[in-house]
Amino acid sequence: MQASADEALILDAWQANAQAWEQAVREGRIESRKLVTDQAIVDAVLAHTPRTVIDVGCGEGWLARALAAAGVKVIGVDVVPALIESASSKSGGDFRVLSYEDMATGALAERADVVVCNFSLLGRESVDGLLAAMPELLEPNGTLIIQTLHPLLAAEPYVDGWREGSWVGCGTGFSQAAPWYFRTLGSWVSALERAGLSLRCIKEPIHPHTGRPASVIFMAGSNQGNGDEQASRRSISRHRT
Ligand SMILES: C[S@@+](CC[C@H](N)C(=O)[O-])C[C@H]1O[C@@H](n2cnc3c(N)ncnc32)[C@H](O)[C@@H]1O
């Protein structure tokens, strides 16, 4: 099946390029991150004054470290063991090797005030499955925050579909690029709704040099609201039984 083959290629590419990615982030090679999107996601998360955060697809852990430095208790998860090792060695925080498929089947037993996905929702079925599990990962009144490529910047046509990836702008040392699944703005909103989440806010951080959006940030909450007693009994520091 084509879609599953693409999902597998995403995982292969991140396994193969973990070291190059770590270097690109460490050296601040990606201009839009340095100028706009890093601060935008830190601000978006901290604006919710979370006590606890789950950083999904955390990579080498820069965001988890920034949030921990602000006093937030963070769990970082990623499918690539080398990235999780790197994240753990830099901060000794709570980092775990888990795929979105694992999380969709309840492998992460904690909840958090904010679940953040910074440029880490790349696939189709893997992302839909993860989103469906989100009400189980958010505390009552918790917030899911997703930063992703702004649909304005993606190649035409403006319809959902798999696109070829590229490492342009990330520097050297990369091998095969991962495909990624493009979603229109409307399709992102539908995906959130299908997962039992309500969109609360969209932000479009602007690139100071181009005047165009550098990304889009979605903030959504669980439709369960605060009537979910089961949820209120669990927290990031307690495991489900
Ligand atoms: C563009 S990087 C972003 C990393 C980090 N959030 C950051 O801001 O630097 C995408 C990350 O998503 C992770 N990822 C992609 N698909 C995944 C999956 N199915 N399960 C777990 N992690 C995944 C990759 O391993 C990679 O670390």
Tally of domains in the chain: 1
180: number of CA atoms within 13 Å, CB side?
18
Tell me what pLDDT residue 236 has.
Answer: 60
Predicted pLDDT at 229: 42
Q: Which residues, 6+ apart, have CB-to-CB distance to 171 below 8 Å?
A: 20, 23, 24, 27, 29
- In this prediction, residue 223 carries a pLDDT of 79
Which ligand 1 atom is at minimum distance from the Cα of 62?
9
| Ligand 1 mean position, distance from CA 119 (Å) | 7
Residue span of the structural domain in which 73 resides: 5-240
Q: Where are the alpha helices (H) located in 56-104, listed in sequence order?
A: 62-69, 81-91, 100-104
CATH of the domain at 216: 3.40.50.150
pLDDT of res. 232: 43
Whether residue 10 has its Cβ less than 6 Å from ligand 1: yes
For residue 235, the model assigns a pLDDT of 54
Burial zone of 1 (CB within 10 Å; 0-12 exposed, 13-18 middle, 19+ buried): exposed
Separation of 46 CA from ligand 1 center, angstroms?
A: 21
Global pTM reads: 0.93
Low-confidence stretches of the chain (pLDDT < 50) are 1-2, 226-234, 237-241
Q: HSE of 216 in the Cβ direction (CA atoms, 13 Å)? A: 17
Residue 52, token pair as written in the block = 């606890």
Q: How far, in Å, from the CA of 230 to the mean position of ligand 1? A: 29
Ligand 1: which of 4, 11, 14, 180 to mutate, most ligand atoms within 8 Å of CB? 14
pLDDT for the residue numbered 156: 84
CB count, 10 Å around CB of 28? 11
Single-letter code of the amino acid located at 213: P
